[in-house]
Amino acid sequence: MAPTGCYHRGLMPEGYVPIFIFLAVATLFPVATILIFKLVRPALPNVVKLDAYECGIKAASDSRGRYTVRFYIIAILFVIFDVETIFLFPWAVRYQKLGWFGVAEVAVFLGILIVGYIWAYKKGALEWV
């Protein structure tokens, strides 16, 4: 009696073959492209080519300077509040079916969001200077 199932003569399932082909192509294409262009490109480094370019002007200072923490705080707050507002989209899609319960949920959600804004404002996190 012949074995049944998804295995073909004891080998791997046939459904995985396209996945392995895709992985091979997805791996080989970038590697081959990088190697080909590394062989073809001209490599004549000199001081002018390796110098930082700032609109034709000599660099004023080192680009690896430190930034104040304020920039990072503003960026993180923007991402947090932006992601939270994305949660309004599913509610907007289903607001008719949710009814007043959905309106109450969004009111609570927006209330928490407004409390977060007020807290960040009072802490001075939204001040740029």
Distance between CA atoms of 100 and 106, rounded to whole angstroms? 10
For residue 21, the model assigns a pLDDT of 94
Tokens of 107: 């009111």
Tokens of 11: 């080998």
What are the extents of the domains in the chain?
14-123
Tokens of 50: 């390796």
pLDDT band, residue 22 (cuts 50/70/90): very high
**For the residues 26-39, what does the mean pLDDT come to?**
94
What is 14-123's CATH number, 4.10.95.10, 1.10.3720.10, 1.20.58.1610, 1.10.540.10? Answer: 1.20.58.1610
pLDDT digits (tens, 9 = 90+) for 50-91: 776 667 666 666 667 677 777 788 788 888 878 888 888 888
Mean pLDDT of the chain: 80
Longest dimension (CA), the chain: 81
For residue 95, the model assigns a pLDDT of 79
Q: Is the pLDDT of residue 8 over 60?
A: no
